[in-house]
């Protein structure tokens, strides 16, 4: 288990949505410092929040972040982009753009910060997935989250020897800018982040952070027409 007390976190995609809640709630739970990263990070009014430029799709940017945040003990891979257009009609360059951020960007951060976490006592890596890791939808987004889920499971095995806790976090729809145009029930992002941090501090490997993720995970073992009623025609 990993405590947030006196921890130093690096959070990707920290400008808004879940990211800002990851920063705020970590400090409320006793974190010492938060590196709030984004391509164009926002200024912070709290001296414990350090804005840090980071483009997860740029190797040079990731390396610079490692140098700037060498005291990191918890990494939160939260950066992600949407991609809901049809896989059959979307240009492959657009599909690659989604995977570059949601999959390879997260892996790049994990690779770069793994030695940092090891030097600082092991710490933790949190990867933000989705209930769509298990439930496919049109477009590249759910495919990218499924890939990240599998990568996280492999990283958990590889990082075990250095004492790094790896937590995969799944959620349905949080009330964030990414879901603004969706007519669905949305969870409070603060509740989502609180559930993720509870799991971290309890030593969990995976957390289903809302009712949607619980429901979808339970249905995964069912025949495909249960998940996809359109197949039952």
List of residues 6+ apart from 77 with CB closer than 8 A: 12, 106, 109, 110, 125, 126, 127, 128
What are the structure tokens assigned to 51, written together? 């804005």
- Answer yes or no: 141 catalytic: yes
Which spans in the chain are helix H? 18-28, 59-68, 92-99, 106-119, 140-159, 189-202, 211-219, 224-227
**Which one of the listed residues 141, 173, 217, 228 is annotated catalytic?**
141
What are the structure tokens assigned to 86, written together? 């049809």
| Residues across the chain | 233
- Answer yes or no: 217 catalytic: no
Q: What are phi and psi of 52, to 5 degrees?
A: -140, 125
10 Å CB burial of residue 179 (0-12, 13-18, 19+) is: middle
**Which one of the listed residues 35, 145, 173, 197 is annotated catalytic?**
145
| Radius of gyration of the chain, Cα coordinates, nearest whole angstrom | 17
CA distances to 16, 137, 148, 197, 214 from 111, rounded to whole Å, are 24, 29, 14, 22, 29
Contact 9, 22 (CB under 8 A): yes
Return the residue matching tokens 């808004």. 16
Active-site positions read 141, 145
């Amino acid at each position: 288990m990993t405590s947030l007390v006196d921890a130093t976190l690096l959070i990707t995609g920290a400008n808004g949505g879940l990211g800002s809640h990851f920063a705020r709630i970590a400090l409320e739970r006793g974190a010492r410092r938060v590196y709030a990263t984004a391509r164009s990070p926002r200024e912070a009014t709290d001296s414990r929040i350090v804005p840090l430029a980071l483009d997860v799709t740029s190797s040079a940017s990731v390396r610079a972040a490692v140098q700037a945040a060498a005291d990191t003990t918890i990494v939160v891979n939260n950066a992600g982009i949407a991609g809901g257009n049809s896989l059959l009609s979307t240009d492959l360059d657009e599909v690659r753009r989604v995977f570059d951020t949601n999959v390879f960007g997260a892996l790049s951060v994990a690779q770069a910060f793994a030695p940092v976490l090891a030097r600082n006592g092991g710490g933790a890596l949190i990867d933000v997935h989705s209930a769509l890791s298990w439930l496919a939808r049109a477009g590249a987004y759910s495919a990218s989250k499924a890939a990240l889920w599998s990568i996280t499971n492999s990283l958990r095995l590889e990082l075990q020897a250095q004492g790094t806790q790896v937590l995969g976090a799944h959620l349905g729809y949080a009330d964030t800018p990414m879901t603004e145009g969706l007519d669905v029930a949305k969870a409070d992002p603060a509740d989502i982040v609180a559930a993720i941090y509870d799991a971290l501090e309890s030593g969990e490997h995976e957390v289903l952070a809302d009712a949607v993720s619980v429901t979808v995970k339970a249905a995964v073992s069912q025949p495909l027409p249960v998940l996809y009623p359109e197949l039952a025609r």
